[in-house]
């Protein structure tokens, strides 16, 4: 009854932690493609190839449902995977839709036509590949009209977090917020469009100001997944063991993950 969680590195652990709290009875298999991180500077074809390889490994581990906790993979690879690659008895879901549903105050699964919403000016902070894909704007257009989105590619932030250099990560976040402010001086809301960024949420909030509502993904994705499985319980796969898999150095990744979640995490080679 396992569910898979895929990420290019450690960022998806924020989603795993939230899902584990929301669905403690469900075994979770995490796959971190640390050997090839970060994805945010790769081409769409590279991201697709790496993502499908990782998801295939999660299928082999007994996961019929996989969450792409990597926003870059969700933006650059998910649609192509769903249209031409995912087997009929499997599901691969992304992390954008729960975020956009919260942003537009829609119930999960509401497929009514797009409509006016309260929020009019949205700042999107994401990786260069996510920004280039315009996937967030495309998904938002299915649900809302009249929303201005200004995207800021946050180069270097993921690398700094993966390296454990939070001082550099904070400096980069403040620099990127300043750059965004020059393009959109007064956003109503900010979207942290990378699962690494919740670790810097307080910095984003401080730099943006307390009047800007900051939307982060982990808890929203966990709640959406719980709702999805309540409606489709057959998608809980046959796996029974929680695992942490990596393409990187297991000892090194385990140490970083333990610092990341502040609890002991032991990765094994994928």
Chosen domain end from 199, 215, 231: 215
- Verify that 123 and 153 share a domain, yes or no: yes
- Verify that 211 and 101 share a domain, yes or no: yes
CA 9, CA 37: separation in Å to the nearest integer?
6
- Verify that 82 and 119 share a domain, yes or no: no
What SS3 class is residue 26? coil
Which alpha helices (H) appear in 127-200, and where do they start and end?
A: 128-133, 135-141, 157-162, 166-183
Which alpha helices (H) appear in 85-165, and where do they start and end?
A: 96-103, 128-133, 135-141, 157-162
- Verify that 122 and 189 share a domain, yes or no: yes
Average pLDDT of the residues of the chain: 93
**CATH code of the domain in which 169 resides:** 3.40.50.1860
- Verify that 86 and 119 share a domain, yes or no: no
The answer to whether 204 touches 125, Cβ cutoff 8 Å, is yes
CA 89, CA 87: separation in Å to the nearest integer?
6
- Verify that 154 and 87 share a domain, yes or no: no
Question: What is residue 150's predicted lDDT score, i.e. its pLDDT?
Answer: 97
Whole-angstrom CA distances from 83 to 70, 79, 86 are 19, 6, 7
Q: How many domains does the chain have?
A: 2
Query: How confident is the model over 10-20, as a mean pLDDT?
Result: 94
Annotated catalytic residues are 70, 194
Q: Over 90: is that where the pLDDT of 67 sits? A: yes
pLDDT in tens, 134-171: 989 998 998 999 999 999 999 999 889 888 899 999 99
- Verify that 130 and 207 share a domain, yes or no: yes
- Verify that 158 and 199 share a domain, yes or no: yes
- Verify that 68 and 123 share a domain, yes or no: no
- Verify that 203 and 102 share a domain, yes or no: yes
Residue 164 belongs to domain spanning: 97-215
- Verify that 74 and 182 share a domain, yes or no: no
Question: What is residue 1's predicted lDDT score, i.e. its pLDDT?
Answer: 67
The least confident of 9-18, 19-28, 152-161, 234-243 is: 234-243
State the residue for tokens 């670790």: 199
pLDDT in tens, 92-140: 999 988 888 888 888 766 778 899 999 999 999 999 989 999 989 998 9
- Verify that 143 and 252 share a domain, yes or no: no
pLDDT in tens, 169-226: 999 999 999 999 999 999 999 999 988 898 899 999 999 999 999 998 888 899 999 9
Whole-angstrom CA distances from 219 to 28, 147, 223 are 16, 24, 6
Sheet strands (E) in the chain: 2-7, 28-32, 63-68, 91-93, 115-116, 121-126, 144-145, 148-153, 189-192, 213-215, 243-246, 268-269
Chosen domain end from 197, 215, 233: 215
CA 209, CA 53: separation in Å to the nearest integer?
41
């Amino acid at each position: 009854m396992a569910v898979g969680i895929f990420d290019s590195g450690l960022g998806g652990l924020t989603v795993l932690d939230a899902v584990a709290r929301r669905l403690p009875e469900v075994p979770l298999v995490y796959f971190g493609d640390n050997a090839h991180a970060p994805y945010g500077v790769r081409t769409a074809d590279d991201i697709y190839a790496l993502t499908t390889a990782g998801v295939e490994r999660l299928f082999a581990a007994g996961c019929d449902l996989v969450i792409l906790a990597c926003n870059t993979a969700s933006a650059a690879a998910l649609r192509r995977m769903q249209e031409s690659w995912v087997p009929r008895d499997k599901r691969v879901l992304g992390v954008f839709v729960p975020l956009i549903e919260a942003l537009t105050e829609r119930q999960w699964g509401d497929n009514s036509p797009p409509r006016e919403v309260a929020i009019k000016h949205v700042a999107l902070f994401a990786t260069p590949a996510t920004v280039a894909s315009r996937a967030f704007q495309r998904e938002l257009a299915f649900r809302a009209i009249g929303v201005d989105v200004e995207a800021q590619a946050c180069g270097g932030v993921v690398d700094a977090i993966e390296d454990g250099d939070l001082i550099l990560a904070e400096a980069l976040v403040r620099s990127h917020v300043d750059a965004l402010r020059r393009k959109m001086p007064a956003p109503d809301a900010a979207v942290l469009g990378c699962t690494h960024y919740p670790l810097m949420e307080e910095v984003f909030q401080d730099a943006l100001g307390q009047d800007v509502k900051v939307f982060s993904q982990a808890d929203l994705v966990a709640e959406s997944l719980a709702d999805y499985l309540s409606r489709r319980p057959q998608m809980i796969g046959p796996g029974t063991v929680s695992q942490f898999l990596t393409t990187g150095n297991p000892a090194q990744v385990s140490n970083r993950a333990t610092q990341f979640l502040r609890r002991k995490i032991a990765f094994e080679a994928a």
